[in-house]
Chain A
Amino acid sequence: MQTNIKERMWAGVKAISPILLGVIPFAMIVGVFAVDAGLTQLEGIGMTAIVYAGASQLAAIQMLVERSALPVLILTVWVINLRFLLYSASLGEHFKDLSLGWKLLFSYLITDQGFAVSVVEFEENKEKPGKRYFYLGASLIMWLVFFLATGVGVLVGASVPASWNLDFAFPLSFMGLVVPTLKDRPAILAGLIAGTLTTLAVGIPYNLGLPISVLAGIGFGMLLEKLEQK
């Protein structure tokens, strides 16, 4: 293998670094939230290591606090993470020659952020060898930063008073993430429909409001897209 492994991994680290600035406060909030909700510190970081999908972790913690039915909690987490299917399909082509072990590791490490920088790189430098090392560098530093920042969050979590309203950081931190996804009219309207439905769906039993609203929003978006194409 002629590829300079270190150099390619480092390129991945550099590419993802600006995004990590936003990941740090977000992951800390996940940690703070976990201990606020009554999880132990070990459970807080264990959740990050095992579940490893921040937005869905926050939703899960909130549903634990609200004592939602567990099947609905599980369904909600999986619906939130359906987007991984798309990343998996896109990255699968680049991972096709890897051994099973690497495929498993690379899959576990899939994140919005690691995916975002890798597809840009793979698109811009189609022929450049060592794609896997670029992805690995970006994704490992992402994992490490997410894990450590969650750790800081669980350590300081218990000492954060309720009057700080830290739970408000939860929607705020998603705002920076949602903006790039609202790139055309069908996406914007689908998102607004789903958000409005979830907001109004207070009375829906078992907290099924979110998964149902998301599916309705997706259906609406697809319909709108089809109409606009005509």
Chain B
Amino acid sequence: MNIWLLFIILGIGNFLLRYSFVYLFGKVELTDTARRALRFVPPTVLLSLIMPAILRHQGQLDLTLDNPRFYAGLIAGLVAYKTKSVLFTLVVGMGLLYLLQNLL
């Protein structure tokens, strides 16, 4: 598929999600059940992106010292929790990864 066509399909979907209830305001309400469901989208999506990237190493689950990403990620997670800062988390996580890779 042409890559631009793919972007446009993705973009149209994203736009419709954004425009949905701006357009429907006063016509259709988001039900309480839907609201309750959608509140879980950010934590489930983000942890689904974070956890495999840290826990999987060379294609499989790896919680040993051979996987420095696990330890760097764990500590970076604590930093994120304490500071809520994307920048700090990046600096600590990347720094630890280099350190661990060069030490181990």
The interface of chain A, by Cβ under 8 A from chain B, is 21-23, 25-26, 39, 43, 46-47, 50-53, 55-56, 58-60, 70, 73-74, 77-89, 91-93, 95-96, 103-104, 106-108, 110, 112, 165, 167-182, 186-188, 190-200, 202, 210, 213-214, 217-218, 221-222, 225
Contact = CB atoms under 8 A, between A and B. Distances in A.
A108 B20 CA distance: 11
Given A50-B10, A175-B80, A214-B41, A103 B87 contact: no
5 contacts: A51-B10, A83-B45, A107-B23, A168-B97, A195-B50
Given A52-B14, A84-B18, A172 B40 contact: no
Contacts of B97: 165, 168
Interface size class of B (residues with CB under 8 A): 35 or more
A202 B56 contact: yes
Contacts of B14: 51-53, 56, 77-78, 81, 84
Contacts of A91: 22
Nearest to B98: A165
B48 to A, nearest CB: 4
Contacts of B9: 74
Interface of B: 1, 3-4, 6-11, 13-15, 17-26, 29-30, 33-56, 59-61, 69, 72-73, 76-77, 79-81, 83-90, 93-94, 97-98, 101
B19 A43 contact: no
A214 B37 CA distance: 11
A41 to B, nearest CB: 13
A22 B98 CA distance: 21
B68 to A, nearest CB: 9
Q: B20, B46, B77, B101 — which one has the most chain A CB atoms within 10 A of its CB?
A: B46
A191 B46 contact: yes
Contacts of B61: 199-200
B43 A170 contact: no
Contacts of A21: 85-87
A161 B74 CA distance: 25
A186 B79 CA distance: 22
B54 A171 contact: yes
A29 B10 CA distance: 20
Contact of B46 (A25, A55, A77): A55
